[in-house]
Structure 1
Amino acid sequence: MHYIRLLRAPAVVRGRSGQWLKLVVTITTDLGDAYLSPETQVELSVVGAYHDKKGFLRPYDLTQATNPRWRAGMRVLKVDLPIPPRMPLKTIQIRATNRRLAVLGTTDVYPRPDGQALIMGVYADMPVGEGEDAIKTEVCFRSLRLVASDPDAPVNVLQVEEDFGDSIARHIWDGGVVTVSYIADLCLDATSDEKSMPVLSGILRQRDRPLNILELGCGVGIVGIGISRILGAAFAGSDKILNVLMTDLQDAEGRARANVARCLAQERGSEETVPSIDFESLDWEEGKDGKFGEKVQARPWDLVVVSECTYNPDTLLALVQTLSALHTHSARNSEFPCDMKIVLSTKPRHSSERQFFDMMLKDGWAVCEKDVLPLPVLDDEAQSVEVYLFTKG
C-alpha cells in the first residue's frame, strides 16, 4: 500500500489574478522508505469542502480543469491550483482519481475482490485567516469509512490525525489499516457466519458481559480507536458495555489523545453505543514486572491487541513478559476473572521478527487461530499482513 503525504501544511496565496492553493506532496510506503514508481502515471484529485450560504458543507473539485500526475522517479510533487473567488475552503482531500486505486473504505482494503493495488489519500484543514496572521493546521488526517453489509446503516467514519512529512513517527502503518478493515469485516458484515477466525469473532461479538480490550504500542491510535468505532456500531441500540484502553510510551500520548477526542466528537449525537476509550502510558520494561498504571489495573482484559510491534528485536522479550503479566493480572481479578487472549497483527518486514513467536512459545503461549491477509502493492510484489490469536496454557 502507498500513502499520499503532505510534506507541509497547505497554503493559500492571493495575488492580482486570484487566489491559489499550494501543496507539496509525496507518495510513499508506510515507512517512507520507497516512493511510488508506477508503470503508468497516477492522476490525483484535490477536492475541497466549503460552507455554502445556507451553511451546508459542499464539495468542490479543484482539479476539474487539470489533474496533477505522479510519475515514476518522482520524489516530490508541487501543486498550484486556482480557488474560485469568495470560496472559503474548510478542508481538502487529496486522493487517486481512479476509484479502483483509492482507499476510501474498509472494503477497499479487506476483502478486496479484484486484488487491485491501493493508495490511501490524505485530508487537511485549511488555514484560518490571511497572510502572516493565518493560523495553519499542525496535522493532516486519514479518513476511512467503516463499511457495513447493511446499506441502510448509518455512515460510520474513522478519522485519525497524523503529522505532516514522511517520517515513520506519528503515522499510520499498513498493519493498522489492514487490521481495522479485517475487524470491520468480522463484526459489521452480517452476510455470513463463516468467519476465518471464529474464536476472535466470538470474543468481539460477546454480549453476556462487559468487553474489555487493551492495546499495546498504539501509536497514533488507529487500531484501538477503529475497534471502538466498529464495536460501537456493531452493538448499536444495545446496553453492551465496551471499554478500550490504548497504551504506549509517554511521547505517543499527545497524538493518541487528540485522536480519541476526535473520535468522541464524532460519536456525540449518534445512535451507536458510545464506548469508554482512553489512553495510559505503559513502558514494557515496567510492564514485564507487572508494574501497571491505575487504568490497566482497574479491570481484567478479555483481549490484548498488538499491531506492528514486533519489528524491533530489542523490545521483544519485554513485550512477551508484559503480555504474560497482563494474563496473570486478568486471571486473578476478583470480580470477573478471564482467560485473556492476544490478537497480534504484523506485516513481516525482516526475519528477526520470528523471535517473537519462539519467545511466546517458551512463555506458554500458543497460536489458536491465524489468517494471512493480502496487501497488493502497485507495480511491485504483493505483500501480506498476518493476524494471530494467542491463548495461554
Structure 2
Amino acid sequence: MHYVRLLRPPTVEQGRSHRQLKISLTITTDLGDAYLFSQEPIELAVVGAYQNAEGRLVPVNLTQNASPRWRAGMRALKFDLQLPRNPISTIQIRPANRQLTALATSDVYPVGQSNGLVMGVYVDLPSSEGMPSQVCFRSLRLTGASQDPAAAVNALQVEEDFGDSIARHIWDGGVVTLSLVADLCLASPVPVRHNPMPLLSNILCGQRRELNILELGCGVGIVGIGFLRILKASSYGVSPKILMTDLSEAEERAQANISRCLADSQSSEGGRADVEFESLDWQDGKVGLFGEKVQSQPWDLLLVSECTYNTDTLLALVQTLSAIHAHSVQKTGGSHTTKIFLATKPRHSSEREAFDMFAEEGWRVEEQTVVPLPVLNSNAQSVEMYLLSKS
C-alpha cells in the first residue's frame, strides 16, 4: 500500500480577496522507503467540511476546478488552494479516483481488483492564521466485505505524526490485520467463502463473553483500538478488555488515540471503550517484570503486529510472550492457555529466526494464512498471520 503523508502542517494565509491553504505532501510506503511510481498521473482530491446552521457537516471539494497531480518520479508535491468563505474545520486528501482509495477495511480485505491501494490523510485546520494542528490522522471504516455499507461501524480514527519517518505511523501489517478481523467478525450474513483462520475466528467470535487481550509493541494503537471497536460492534456479544503496551516514548500518541476512541464510542455507541495503555520494555518482560496492569489478570490473546522486523529484539520479544503465558497459568492455577496472534509483513529473511525461537520456547503454530497486500505498480507483497499456542 501507499499512504498520502503531509510533510508539514497545512497553513492558512489571508490574501487580498480570499484565504489560501498551503499543502506539502508525499505519497510513500509505510516505512517511507519508496515513493509511489505511477505510470499515469494520479489526481488528488482535497475535500473539506463545514457546519451549516443545522449543525450538519457539508462537504466541499476544494479541488473541483483544478486537481493537483502526483506524477512518476515525484518525491514531494506542494500546492495552494483557495478556501471558501465558510470556515473549513477538517480536510481529507486522497486520490480523486475512489477505486484507488482505502476508505474501509473491505477495500483492503479480501483484495479486490483495484481498491485499497492508497490511504488518504486527514487534518484539522486552524480557524484563522493561528497555530496549525500538530497531528494528522487516518480514518478507516470498519466493515465486513459482505456487510451493508450503511451498517458499517463508525470510522476508526488514528492520529499520526507529520513527516515521512517510520516513527508514530501506521504500518501495512496493522491495516491488513484489522481488515481481516473485521471481515471475520462483522460480515453479515456470514461469508460462504473459506474462513482462512477458523481457530482465531472462534476465539474472537465464539461463545466467550469476556476476552482479555494484551498487545505488545502497539505503536500508535491502530490494532488494539481497532480490535476493541470491531469486537464491541460484532453480533457475538464479546466483551473485550484490551491493554496496549509499548516503550514509554509511544505512550503520548497511543493515549491520544485511546482518548479519541473513548470520545467516539461514548458519543456514537453509548458504551465505554475498555482499552488502556501501560509501558512495557521487553528487556524487563523477558524476566517477568511487568507493570500493575499486565499483572492484574490472565490474558487470553496476545497481539503482536509488525514486531519481528528487528532481529536484535526478537529473543526478548519471544521470552516476554512466554513470561506472560507463565503469569496467566500461575494466575489461574494452571487452567489457562494464552494464545498469540502474530501478523507481519516480511521485510527480510532474518525475520524467520523468530519461529525458531518460538519453537525453542515451546510455542507451536496452530494455523496460519497469507493475505496479499493491495499494491499499485509495485512488486507483489503480503502480510502473514499466525495463531500460536503453548502447552
- TM-score, normalised by the number of residues in structure 1: 0.95
Paired with 2:68 and 2:370, the residues of 1 have a C-alpha distance of 35
**Alignment CA distance shift 1:274-1:231 (3 Å):** farther
**Alignment CA distance shift 1:115-1:96 (3 Å):** closer
Segment of structure 1 superposing worse, 181-190 or 265-274:
265-274
Q: CA RMSD in A?
A: 1.6
* 8 A contact 1:10–1:23 mirrored in 2: yes
Q: Deviations over 1:67-123 (max 9, x none)?
A: 100001111100111112x21010000000111100100011001232556000000
Following superposition, the deviation at residue 206 of structure 1 comes to: 3.0
Please list every run of 5 or more consecutive structure 2 residues that lacks an aligned counterpart in the other structure: none
Paired with 1:300 and 1:248, the residues of 2 have a C-alpha distance of 19
The equivalent residue for 1:204 is 204
Following superposition, the deviation at residue 154 of structure 1 comes to: 5.3
The equivalences for 1:98-247 within 5 A come to 98-114=97-113, 116=115, 118-130=117-129, 134-148=130-144, 149-151=146-148, 153=151, 155-190=153-188, 191-192=190-191, 194-235=194-235, 238=237, 240-247=238-245
**Alignment CA distance shift 1:122-1:387 (3 Å):** same
* 8 A contact 2:7–2:26 mirrored in 1: yes
1:37 and 2:40 matched: no
* 8 A contact 2:142–2:156 mirrored in 1: yes
The equivalent residue for 2:87 is 88
**Alignment CA distance shift 1:343-1:272 (3 Å):** farther
Q: Aligned with 1:156: secondary structure?
A: strand
Following superposition, the deviation at residue 273 of structure 1 comes to: 5.5
**Alignment CA distance shift 1:154-1:367 (3 Å):** closer
Segment of structure 1 superposing worse, 121-130 or 286-295:
121-130
* 8 A contact 1:47–1:61 mirrored in 2: yes
Paired with 1:122 and 1:115, the residues of 2 have a C-alpha distance of 19
Following superposition, the deviation at residue 235 of structure 1 comes to: 4.7
* 8 A contact 1:128–1:136 mirrored in 2: no
Paired with 1:232 and 1:385, the residues of 2 have a C-alpha distance of 25
Paired with 2:334 and 2:131, the residues of 1 have a C-alpha distance of 49
Q: Deviations over 1:155-209 (max 9, x none)?
A: 4210000000000000000001111111101111132264211110010113334
Segment of structure 1 superposing worse, 240-249 or 188-197:
188-197
Paired with 1:67 and 1:15, the residues of 2 have a C-alpha distance of 21
Following superposition, the deviation at residue 337 of structure 1 comes to: 4.2
2:341 pairs, out of 331, 334, 343, with 343
Q: Deviations over 1:300-327 (max 9, x none)?
A: 1110000000011110000000000011
Q: Runs of 4+ in structure 1 displaced over 4 angstroms? A: none
Q: Aligned with 1:103: secondary structure?
A: coil
Please list every run of 5 or more consecutive structure 1 residues that lacks an aligned counterpart in the other structure: none
The amino acid that maps onto 1:144 is: L
* 8 A contact 1:162–1:172 mirrored in 2: yes
The amino acid that maps onto 1:363 is: E
1:254 pairs, out of 224, 230, 252, with 252
* 8 A contact 2:305–2:344 mirrored in 1: yes
Paired with 2:268 and 2:57, the residues of 1 have a C-alpha distance of 19
Paired with 2:17 and 2:209, the residues of 1 have a C-alpha distance of 64
Total equivalences in the alignment: 387
The equivalences for 1:311-322 within 5 A come to 311-322=309-320
1:292 pairs, out of 253, 269, 290, with 290
1:57 and 2:45 matched: no
**Alignment CA distance shift 1:47-1:336 (3 Å):** farther
Q: Aligned with 1:184: secondary structure?
A: helix
Following superposition, the deviation at residue 226 of structure 1 comes to: 0.4
* 8 A contact 2:283–2:316 mirrored in 1: yes
Following superposition, the deviation at residue 8 of structure 1 comes to: 0.8
Identical-residue share of aligned pairs (%): 60
Paired with 1:386 and 1:197, the residues of 2 have a C-alpha distance of 12
**Alignment CA distance shift 1:154-1:38 (3 Å):** closer
Q: Aligned with 1:268: secondary structure?
A: helix
1:3 and 2:10 matched: no
* 8 A contact 2:153–2:233 mirrored in 1: no
1:361 pairs, out of 359, 362, 376, with 359
The amino acid that maps onto 2:99 is: R
The equivalent residue for 1:279 is 277
